[in-house]
Chains A and B, each alone.
Chain A
């Protein structure tokens, strides 16, 4: 398996522009997570889906952030409009959940720079 795939790996954009980050989870996994990592705040969970349904979006910083999972093999995280404070590394992770706790597999991340 190729693991969790994220694109793009790097994104540089200007303040006010729309940014879309993409994630393909591992085949067979039914949970998907979006995290943000910064030096100041560390790793933060933004939102997670189970069976394509958003379960907890309490970590989404504000209305400028939105996430979708239209099917089991694809998810997007959109920021509109982007701001310099959104600069961070965004990770997508997936796992298999069946009432038990399983490990999460992380993608390589998307490094976002908003100027």
Chain B
């Protein structure tokens, strides 16, 4: 399987934007990039996904590099409730098989 690489941890101040990077240089051209987050003692929660174009939803934005070797999850204004582990993942083709990276622990300081 291909692999995603993320920093172990990041810090942000409340109400500032956060850019969470992910490297996925070995995924194939048909693999969708997904982001999930996991709050303490909960299951992962879907955030956003995309293939080639940048994507926006109510939770976040996803910026995908033109060569698709990396992507960035953007939280426009971090809140204390955004403190979580953020996972970059990919789905191989249309299999539905989601492969998770190791995740980035985001701390948000008031």
Contacts and interface: CB of A to CB of B under 8 A. Distances in A.
Interface of A is mostly: strand
Interface string A31-71: 10100000000111100101000011000000000000000
A103 B49 contact: yes
Given A45-B98, A50-B96, A99-B94, A107 B103 contact: no
A4 B45 CA distance: 12
A108 B42 contact: yes
Nearest to B101: A42
B110 interface: no
B94 A101 contact: yes
Name the residue among A91, A99, A101, A103 with the largest chain B CB count within 10 angstroms: A101
Given A91-B43, A106-B44, A101 B97 contact: no
A101 B46 CA distance: 13
B75 interface: no
Interface residues of A, number: 25
B83 interface: no
B99 A104 contact: no
A18 B76 CA distance: 47
Interface in A55-98: 55-56, 91, 93, 95, 97
Nearest to A6: B43
B103 A42 contact: yes
A103 B62 CA distance: 15
A107 B97 CA distance: 17
Contacts of B99: 45
Contact of B43 (A44, A97, A100, A106): A106
A101 B43 contact: no
Interface of B: 32, 34, 42-46, 49, 87, 91, 94-103
Interface of A: 4, 31, 33, 42-45, 48, 50, 55-56, 91, 93, 95, 97, 99-101, 103-109
| The 3 A-B residue pairs with the shortest CB-CB distance in the complex, in nearest-first order | A106-B43, A103-B46, A43-B100
